[in-house]
Amino acid sequence: MALQLRPNCEYCDRDLPPDATDARICSYECTFCADCVETKLSNVCPNCGGGFAPRPIRPTQEWRAGVCTTKQAPSDKRVHLKYSVEDVAAHCARVRDVPPEKR
């Protein structure tokens, strides 16, 4: 199953097209821009508490049959945080000093 490649940062709603090199995801595919991950979230996913990794870029060219953005389209459903900014800040402050591999 392919990643959803969500189209926006869940925090600031910035567009993150499929080829965005500054898109970050957690293991649940929560998607944020690198700026929010670094300056607002302290590398803490506000949804699950995990850390982030750069989101892979799906090939636009069909190098293998059926495997490219035109055959496995990125999501067009925008996702937004269900928590308040204050709740996110408190959650991230509580978890940020725990290394991601120990969360």
> Could you report the per-residue pLDDT of 19-30, keeping only the tens digit for each?
999 999 999 999
User: Structure pTM?
Assistant: 0.92
User: To the nearest whole number, what is the mean pLDDT of the chain?
Assistant: 96
Q: How far is Cα 68 from Cα 50, in angstroms, rounded to an integer?
A: 28
Q: How many domains does one find in the chain?
A: 1
Q: Is residue 14 part of a domain?
A: no
Answer yes or no: is 38 within a domain. yes
| 66 lies in some domain | yes
Structural domain including 46 reads 23-98
Taking the C-alpha atoms of residue 29 and residue 25, their distance in angstroms, rounded to an integer, is 5
Residue 48 lies in a domain: yes
Would 34 be classed as within a structural domain? yes
Rounded Cα–Cα distance for residues 77 and 99 (Å):
31
Residue 1 pLDDT grade (very low, low, confident, very high; cuts 50, 70, 90): confident
Q: Which amino acid is at 23?
A: A
Residues 6+ positions from 59 with CB-CB distance below 8 Å: 67, 68, 69
**5 lies in a domain?**
no
